[in-house]
Structure 1
Amino acid sequence: MLLSRHRPSWRGWRRWRRGRPFWGGLAAVAAGAWICVLPLAPLKIMLQQGVAGIPSVLMGIVMIVLGLTAWFAPQQRTLAGVLTTLIATAALVLSNLGGFLIGTLLGILGGGLIFAWQPYAAPRAPDTTEAADPTASRDPIPTRDAPADPTRSPTPHHDSQGVQP
């Protein structure tokens, strides 16, 4: 009874999560938090570390911002994914072995997931020429007898970002 009342909110959450590179952003935020938190040790340890902790904190904050950018501006996923991977790799050298390798590995994984994510393409509208002409062949590959139709291709390609027609 209680679960059925909250079902629309779960559907909204699921729709929001699937409409963006959620898991890549989550990995980037986790990597940034891990890299950022390690130098924020107690004051006694921080004083011994000196200015070496500043790049760690800055790189962690930038990775968190890039993960949030992937969530809230998914059209910037290419830049966010590449920068997350580069910063995670730089953290390996500049920040306690990239958060003892955990932050670097999470950052590289998150950057790759952000970069590789593609939005779902809208379903294609049915072709009106086929419906009007029932004798038209539905085979996209032309045979020797039928001339090649330049409007149809054997491998349909659509770009989900609308760059190509």
Structure 2
Amino acid sequence: MSAESTGLRARIRYGRLTFRHWRWGRPFWAGLLTIVAGVPIAYFPYANLTLGQLTVRMATTAGSDSLIIGVLLGVLGLTMWFQSSVRIFSGVAAILLSLVSLVKSNFGGFLVGFLCALIGGALAVAWTPGTPAADEPGEKAERPDGVPDAGGDGFEPVPGLSDAPAVPAQAGDPYAQPEPVPAGAVADDETTEKNGRHRAG
């Protein structure tokens, strides 16, 4: 396998993942069905059906209405994709246009466009953006061995050692500067040996 084919596969895979994330963030199928619904609604009134030597023209007096309904459904489908914040308005408008197309556009593009627009509008109204699941307060995290962690700094207590601090507590302010000792004098906390006896300060 050459390096070029590996790079091409990596680019295709990256494109698929990018499209998948884009699709998950919006009502994709609702917009697609709404766009597809506009095609038969706008096309059939202007099409000619040829059966052998017989040509059947399906144009009606409401051909302009069918074109407007088809274009509006296409615009609403694109709105669902790129402006998902107005998806409810777009879905309701698609449902109303699908109902109007039953009367104005050859039974809604021979029911194909009507059904696609109706389902697409319903999907747009029902779609809600997903939110990532958050941990509830007080929930204990699990360690790799499956035992829930009680919290803290992650260190286990060593048996036989007390919880007392390792450094003895200092009296007073620990950040205070020590008092200077005059030359030749002995500090109170020093221990001196005088006359064979120890004097503690």
Cα distance in 1 between the residues matched to 2:131 and 2:70: 33
Report the secondary structure of 1:6's partner residue.
helix
Measure, in 1, the Cα distance between the counterparts of 2:32 and 2:14.
23
Deviation beyond 4 Å, 4+ runs, structure 1: none
- Long gaps (5+) in structure 1: 135-165
Q: How far did 1:115 drift?
A: 0.9
Q: Pairwise CA RMSD of aligned residues? A: 2.2
Structure of higher RCO (CA pairs closer than 8 Å, 6+ residues apart): 1
Q: Work out the percentage of aligned pairs sharing the same amino acid.
A: 40
- Whole-Å separation in 2 of the counterparts to 1:100 and 1:126: 52
- The structure whose residues are more often strand, as a share, is 2
Q: 1:8 aligns with which of 4, 14, 31?
A: 14
Does 1:45 pair with 2:57? yes
| TM-score (norm: length of structure 2) | 0.58
User: Which residue does 1:111 correspond to in 2?
Assistant: 121
Q: What are the residue-to-residue correspondences of 1:53-132 with 2, within 5 Å?
A: 53-124=63-134, 127=137
Q: Secondary structure at the match of 1:38?
A: helix
Task: Identify the range of structure 1 (114-123 vs 76-85) with the bigger mean alpha-carbon deviation.
Answer: 114-123
Alpha-carbon shift at residue 125 of structure 1 (Å): 5.2
TM-score normalised per structure 1: 0.70
Larger radius of gyration: 2
Structure with more helix by fraction:
1
- The gaps in structure 2 that reach 5 residues or longer are 1-5, 49-55, 141-149, 151-201
